[in-house]
Amino acid sequence: MKKPKVLVTRQVANEAIALLEPAAEVKVWESDEPIPRERLLAEVEDAEAVLSMLTERIDEELLTRAKKLRIAANMAVGYDNIDLPACKRRDIWVTNTPDVLTEATADLAFALLMATGRRLIEADRYVRNGEWSSWSPSLMAGQNVYGATLGIIGMGRIGEAVARRAKGFGMRIKYCNRNRKEQAEAETGAEWASLETLLRESDYVVLLTPLTEETRLLMGEQQFSWMKPTSVFINVSRGGTVDESALYQALVSRKIWAAGLDVFQQEPLPQDHPLLSLPNIVALPHIGSATEQTRADMAKLAAANIVAVLEGRKPLTPL
């Protein structure tokens, strides 16, 4: 009996492929570059499962071609690249990879906060470019981290993990979330606040919401105007949650002090993007979960979800 076909849209950890091979014929797009759209559409026509990345749109066009598809397993927490209603109409499972990337992403968020607040990337360039000729009291002076006020927008698993790190730095923590998180409040001392209050009172603002219709362009001109001129904005959520033109203007006019960004509306970011012209920006290439161990765990969880569905069981992390 012929095994069902699984399409893996990027090279992933060998352990994940090993999980799939006993149950399926595995077709891997063996490149670090995204699979071309036309090739993706052709390959899914006879696939019963796809292990996808955020770079692949699982939309109406693709689903119309993928007559045999039973599961789309996204190797990410986010799933704004997948048309959930269209999958539901076709009884196609959609899964993501929560939990396994929480701590790695929280590490990155806090590292980005510190690198931006203390001007670490700028200081590194200063030394490498041979500009360091003497010491002065104002040389690469940044903002305090220890004892500062941190505002977390989106107190999910990653937000709570960031709050735990902030507690170790003696930070006062405020958070904005649809629901109160009493356990997180008890554990970290975090205080619930409205978005406006959080933005007005925080020295650092970390955005960690998923991209939904409610959060699209959540941070715009009005929101940046509420922030302190010494405040630092960090985005480790999705690029679509921020009005980048408004952010650029806030940075140029010094309405806010600096920004650290791991995500952008267009990825990869064009080299002529206005934000890259600013010295008070730290820009990263969407590497929130990028540790070798975490990416392997994400791939294995996505593979385990696929195997469960192909064997007639419910997946581990269904959306």
Q: Decide if 148 contacts 203 (C-beta within 8 A).
A: yes
Cross-strand pairs, 205: 151, 233
Give the amino acid at 76: A
- Catalytic-residue membership of 267: yes
- Let me know: does 246 contact 220? Beta carbons within 8 Å: yes
Whether 238 sits among the annotated catalytic residues: the reply is yes
Which is catalytic among the residues 267, 273, 292, 311?
267
Q: Which long-range contacts (CB under 8 A, 24 or more apart) does 13-20 make?
A: 13/295, 13/296, 13/299, 13/300, 15/296, 15/299, 15/300, 16/51, 16/296, 16/299, 16/300, 16/302, 16/303, 17/303, 19/300, 19/303, 19/304, 19/307, 20/51, 20/303, 20/306, 20/307
Q: Which of 10, 238, 244, 295 is catalytic?
A: 238
* 103 is an active site residue: no
Instruction: Estimate to the nearest angstrom the gap between the alpha carbon of 242 and the chain centroid.
Output: 13
Alpha-carbon gap, residue 146 to 167, rounded angstroms = 9
- Nearest Cα neighbor of 115 from 139, 135, 140 is 140
> Which residue among the candidates 119, 165, 286, 295 is catalytic per the annotation?
286
Q: Which residues are catalytic?
A: 238, 267, 286
